[in-house]
Amino acid sequence: MRTLVLDNTYFPVRIVTWQKAMILLFTGRAEVLTEYSEKKIRSTTQTFNLPKTLRLFNRHRTSHKVKFSRQNVFWRDNFQCQYCFIKLPASKLTIDHVVPQSREGGTDWENVVACCPDCNVRKGSQLPNEANMPLKNPPRVPKWSPQICLRVKKEDPDDWNDWFPNKKVS
């Protein structure tokens, strides 16, 4: 069981274990918005429903930007090699610098894509047009999305979607 945490503006900022959620509650830092009605925990004197959604009393200082990381590049690119379109698990994917690092290409959203090992070897230190390997999509800074930024799992409650600003993710 996990708990979605919103800031005081109702913006979803993170997902925590229910144990952490209870700490936020007991320390007076958050209020319950929705509960798991079927799940209860008992202390020696009280029974609580597990919180499904909490709202913090403070504004959470978050930039609402997607952190640049290898895993998030894979998410943005839908776990597909951006050259041959094959879909692979993260453990099999590599990242490719579109403009190679040896040619001053940066390590950032606009120059890094998911790439399968075969394409990575084939491309080597060439540019896409030199290798005759056009990109599927020009790499961009992704929009903040709860699915990417909060790592929503299949088993998490569907009604969390009500709090998500942009619900669709490819």
Interface ranges with Zn ion (CB under 5 A)? 81, 83-84, 116, 119
Smallest gap from Cβ 116 to Zn ion, in A, equals 3
Smallest gap from Cβ 119 to Zn ion, in A, equals 3
Calculated CA dihedral for residues 62, 65, 68, 73, nearest 10 degrees: 130
Smallest gap from Cβ 104 to Zn ion, in A, equals 24
Residue 79, both tokens? 């776990």
136 to each of 34, 114, 126, how far by Cα in Å?
Answer: 41, 11, 17
Looking at the Cβ atoms of 7 and 77, the one nearer to Zn ion is 77
Total count of residues recorded for the chain: 170
Smallest gap from Cβ 89 to Zn ion, in A, equals 14
DSSP H helical ranges for 1-157: 18-26, 70-76, 117-123, 128-131, 146-149
Smallest gap from Cβ 81 to Zn ion, in A, equals 3
Looking at the Cβ atoms of 19 and 137, the one nearer to Zn ion is 137
Looking at the Cβ atoms of 19 and 126, the one nearer to Zn ion is 126
Q: Give the span between the Cα atoms of 17 and 148, in whole angstroms.
A: 18
Nearest to 31 by CA among 13, 12, 58: 58
Looking at the Cβ atoms of 116 and 149, the one nearer to Zn ion is 116
Looking at the Cβ atoms of 81 and 152, the one nearer to Zn ion is 81
